[in-house]
Amino acid sequence: MPPPNAIHKYNVIQMHAESPISRLVRMYQVGINACQQKDAYKVTKVLFLLHKKLDHQASPKLAANLTRLYKHLQACCEQGDFDQVASTFNQLQSQWRTLH
């Protein structure tokens, strides 16, 4: 098995080669997996990264709506409602996949 550092480098290279929608779909999958593990730290990190990547200039209305949704999901996570967060991530992932 390759050392963990080599795996990380491979994943970073692979991620940069993907389209933005593919990266978004992947990020939602990471969030879904974190919800299944009830890993609040990782879910919070995913939500932070999703929010950070929003382009408020290109699509202000979409960015504002997703900001509100991500804040709601963060509140759900803090309350331990991982099923709601995972369900929403699944729905978002499905919608973005249709565009890909």
pLDDT tens-digit series, residues 21-63: 999 999 999 999 999 999 999 999 999 999 999 999 999 999 9
Nearest 5 degrees, angle CA 80-CA 83-CA 86? 110
**What pTM did the predictor assign?**
0.82
The answer to whether position 34 is within a domain reads: yes
The answer to whether position 93 is within a domain reads: yes
The answer to whether position 82 is within a domain reads: yes
When divided into structural domains, the chain yields a total of 1
The domain in which residue 41 lies consists of 20-99
The answer to whether position 12 is within a domain reads: no
The answer to whether position 35 is within a domain reads: yes
Coil vs helix vs strand at 100: coil
CA nearest 27: which of 68, 70, 77, 71?
A: 70
The answer to whether position 10 is within a domain reads: no
